[in-house]
Amino acid sequence: MFTIRCILGSAWRHGIKLQNRMSTVPHSVAAVCQVTATPDKETNFCACKQLMEDAKEQGASMVFLPEGFDYIGSSREETLSLSETLTGDTISRYTQLARKLEVWLSLGGFHERGHDWETDRRIYNSHIIINDKGDIVSVYRKSHLFDVELPEKGVSLKESAFTIPGPSLVSPVQTPIGKVGLGICYDLRFPDLSQALQRHGAEILTYPSAFTVATGAAHWEVLLRARAIETQCYVVAAAQVGRHHEKRSSYGHALAVDPWGEVLGDCGGEKPGMVLVEIDLDKVSSTRRNMPVQQHRRDTGFYQSLEKT
């Protein structure tokens, strides 16, 4: 298995080529990306497009972009005004790019206008999977919204002020790298979600995120590794990094973790870039076979027995 850290730049891209040639294992390659989105949608698209092109050049069959890949607004009003529908220009450009490059895409947190936009000016935080033909094959709308006040850490965010919680989970999606279960950012803190996706066949969990610096430093890696260990899935987490505008910065450290909980790649906390990871589904099978945790689970009623006493 290989993992490569890539910071944008020709020298780093050349380094990936050399390492990629050294690998003879025919596993699928995922590109886990890290970006610094701003309110400038065109600049954001160009940066993501470059990452996608680099990933394709290095043999990736699926590219993961983080929450807020389209933009991160500086106010509630700006966030809402920049939002679009799934049929708008932004997603159309990504479907065309996926088709052109023949790669699958995980668009990890799109500002999607709600279905009653004309009367209810709120949005969904939507995770969109696009196949290599440019078709939208799945949309998951974030179900756990980040409403947190940590004055001592300088954290104050109320996502529910302008975001509609998603109505349900969606089934894992069969992709070239395996069955991918979809979450978004704050969903990472709810193990019931990851367990449900694993029970429905997920081999890879993905949590595209824009973690704050304070919560990221405290909890990001440990939560991602915990989700991998307890579900015995790969976990890939594209991330936002750096300063988006004067009011907001993100932690970075886009991460890939294997089913044993080992960190395979980390993009660091400073600059945009990506990590390429080979996904070996035999490792999922062998980990689950050697430590059959799911077989040892008791029935649902057992875990609810305390509530009856």
Active site residues: 67, 142, 185
Across-strand partners of 265?
256
C-alpha span between 68 and 127 (Å, rounded)? 10
CA angle 160, 34, 213 (to 5 degrees): 55
- Angle, helix 221-231 to helix 191-199, in steps of 10 degrees: 30
C-alpha span between 248 and 301 (Å, rounded)? 44
C-alpha span between 104 and 150 (Å, rounded)? 37
Distances from the Cα of 253 to the Cαs of 166, 218, 250, in angstroms? Answer: 26, 12, 10
- Angle, helix 89-101 to helix 41-57, in steps of 10 degrees: 10
CB 62 within 8 A of CB 177: yes
Number of helices (H) and strands (E) in the chain: give both, helices first: 10, 17
Tokens representing 225?
């590794």
Alpha-carbon dihedral sign for residues 120, 143, 130, 6: positive
Q: Report the side by side order of strands in the sheet with 173-175.
A: 173-175, 178-182, 204-206, 234-237, 255-257, 263-266
DSSP state letter for 134: S
Q: What is the DSSP string of 65-98?
A: E-TTSS---SSHHHHHHT-B-TTSHHHHHHHHHH
Across-strand partners of 174?
179
